[in-house]
Amino acid sequence: MSDKVQNSKGLMIDVRDLRKSFGEREILKGLNVQVERGETLVLLGGSGMGKSVFMKHLIGLLKPSSGEVFIDGEEISNMNESELKRVRAKFGMVFQNAALFDSMSNYENVAFPLREHRKDMSRTQIDAKVRHLFQMFSLDAEVHGQQFPSELSGGQRKRVGLARAVALDPMIVLYDEPTTGLDPITTDQVDEMIIEAKAQLQVTSVVISHDIASAFKIADKIAFIYYGEIVAFGGPHDMLDSSHPFVKQYFSTWREKNA
C-alpha cells in the first residue's frame, strides 16, 4: 500500500492539490480538503467560484487536470466507469430542487432506489425501510406517503428528497445549495434536517452554500472558496479570524448583525 493511501486512512474525503481547467480557463487552482468520517464540510463562497465543479470531482463526474481525490481511502481520478459506479454507491445526493419524480407518490419516490438496487429485499422489507425513513425525517408514511410531491411544503419535499437520497445507506451525502431560493423558515428546516441526518446516520456530509448563518449552524469545517482557491479552511471560528480581505469582507456584515 502506498503512503498516499495510508495517509488517507481515517479520512472519508482527502483532496490534494486539485486543479481543473476547461480549455484555457483554470477553474480550480490547487485545492486541499480533508474531511473526517461523520464530519460536515460546508463549501462557502459566491456564485461561479468553483463549488459545484469541486463537488463533481468527488463522485468522478469530472476528472482532475492534476491532483488527487481519495474517497474512503481510494484514489478515484483514474478509475474506470465500473469502478466509479462502485464508489458512487457510497454517495447520496440532494439537489436544489429536490428532483423528485412528480408523477410518483412520495412513498414511491423513497421506495424507488430500493426497488431498483436492492433486489435482495422483499416487498415487506422495503415497506419497513420506507416507513422508517419517513419517520426519521418527521414525515407520516400514511399521510405524506400517499400524497404527491406537489402537495407538500418546500421543507417536506426536501425531507422526502433526503429520505430518498439516504435509502441505500450512503456513507457520504452531498448537498448542492439545498437552501438556495428558500424562505428563512424552510431554510431553518433544511438545516435541521442536515443536522438530523448526520446525527442519526453518522454520514459524512458536504454542503454547498452561500448562506453564512446556515454554514455556522451545520458545519464542523468550512472551506471558503474564492475564484477556485480555498482562502480559508477550518472551524466556523477560524473563518472569523481569517486575514484574507475577501473573507473578512464576506463575514463583516454578518458579524455586525450577530454581534
Ligand X SMILES: Nc1ncnc2c1ncn2[C@@H]1O[C@H](COP(=O)(O)OP(=O)(O)O)[C@@H](O)[C@H]1O
* Contact positions vs Mg ion (CB under 5 A): 52
Residue 180 Cβ vs Mg ion, minimum distance, rounded to whole Å: 9
Q: Which does 203 bind (CB under 5 to 8 A by kind): Mg ion, ligand X, none?
A: none
In angstroms, the CA 115 to CA 240 distance is 46
Span interacting with ligand X, options 51-59, 157-165, 188-196, 248-256, rule CB under 6 A: 51-59
When asked if residue 53 is in the footprint of ligand X (CB under 6 A), the reply is yes
Strand ordering across the sheet containing 25-36: 25-36, 11-22, 66-71, 74-75
Q: Which of 8, 13, 35, 50 binds ligand X (CB under 6 A)?
A: 50
In angstroms, the CA 27 to CA 114 distance is 37
In angstroms, the CA 156 to CA 158 distance is 5
Span interacting with ligand X, options 29-37, 41-49, 137-145, 150-158, rule CB under 6 A: 41-49
CB of 57 closer than 8 Å to CB of 69: yes
Our CB check for ligand X shows the closer of 28 and 114 to be 28
- The residue whose Cβ lies closest to Mg ion is 52
When asked if residue 57 is in the footprint of ligand X (CB under 6 A), the reply is no
CB of 79 closer than 8 Å to CB of 87: yes
Q: Which of 7, 30, 36, 52 binds ligand X (CB under 6 A)?
A: 52
Our CB check for ligand X shows the closer of 96 and 242 to be 96
Nearest by Cα to 192 from 182, 236, 1: 182
**98-101 LR contacts (CB < 8 Å, sep 24+):** 98/149, 98/157, 98/158, 98/160, 98/161, 99/161, 100/149, 100/157, 100/160, 100/161, 100/164, 101/149
Q: Which does 53 bind (CB under 5 to 8 A by kind): Mg ion, ligand X, none?
A: ligand X
Q: Which does 184 bind (CB under 5 to 8 A by kind): ligand X, Mg ion, none?
A: none
Our CB check for ligand X shows the closer of 29 and 217 to be 29
Where does this chain bind ligand X (CB under 6 A)? 22, 27, 45, 47-53
